[in-house]
Amino acid sequence: MENEIRIRAFRATDDYETCQRFCEGHKKVLENHGIHSVSSSYNDWAFRSSVFVVVVESLDRKRLFGGARIHVADGINTLPIEEATWSMDPKISSVVNRYAYNGTGELCGLWNSVEVAGYGIGSIFSIRAATVIAQQIGIESLLFLCSPVTLRFNKWIGSKVITEIGNNGTFYYPKLDLLATAVILEDAIDLKNAHPTERNRIMTLRKDLSGVKNETSPFKNLMMNVHYDLQLSGVDEKEFKQITYKDLNLQAV
């Protein structure tokens, strides 16, 4: 594992090449776990201006170690969490509609390569960076479909389980022997319910989107210099406000 990495954020339509490398890395990780199809793994999102990407990469940008995406509710495309769970519980669309007017999205596609497994880079660091850019995008809430591993960290940033859907918020997904939990961060801007330490980290990054910080892996005693590049270009905080959905024909998914 390198001691120097970059965590970079961009709109999907601004960097097609990195999006394709993201897809390849995500697909490989899923296949290593015996998963061959999930709603967030298809690459059509790379052509949507409502998708924002966070990548963890080498400083020369030649290697991708992991990352995550935010799919913003745009009134046109369904969110991956809707596509994944609608057939099991259609109420997920009502949940999305409830938050879409004030700007909402889903953090999905979370992955990391085997090379950095156990360092928290593909989970904690990526979730933190995605929460940082939520303010620039102008979305007030974030949905997640969490594995048991990432559920704990989502609680750190102030998320809560959406108990009104599924089995008290849980689904067997993406296959019958895996459990996923639907959660929502209702206050993605002020993070009033986040753990004070985590809230301070996120707020500090929002003040210095392009800084270099010496970080410690939360799971392994490893110090690394993280070069943050989280300033999005061409974003408008009002772009995804006042979104309302019509019938998106989820029955066909």
Write the pLDDT tens digit of every residue in 152-193: 888 899 999 999 999 999 999 887 778 999 999 999 999 999
Phi, psi (degrees; rounded to nearest 5) at 107:
-90, 120
List the domain boundaries for the chain: 4-236
**pTM for the model:** 0.91
Query: pLDDT category, 118, cuts 50, 70, 90?
Result: low
Question: Is the pLDDT at 229 greater than 80, yes or no?
Answer: yes
Note whether 72 and 52 are within 8 A (CB).
yes
Task: Please give the Cα distance from 152 to 155 (Å, whole number).
Answer: 5
Q: Which of 2-11, 209-218, 242-251 has the lowest mean pLDDT?
A: 242-251
Mean pLDDT of 20-25: 92
| Amino acid code (one letter) for 247 | D
Share of the chain above pLDDT 90, in %: 66
Q: Give the alpha-carbon dihedral of 235, 238, 244, 249, to 10 degrees.
A: 0
Query: pLDDT category, 119, cuts 50, 70, 90?
Result: low
User: What is the homologous superfamily of the domain 4-236 according to CATH?
Assistant: Gcn5-related N-acetyltransferase (GNAT) (3.40.630.30)
Cα 194 to its chain centre, rounded Å, is 17
pLDDT of res. 251? 42
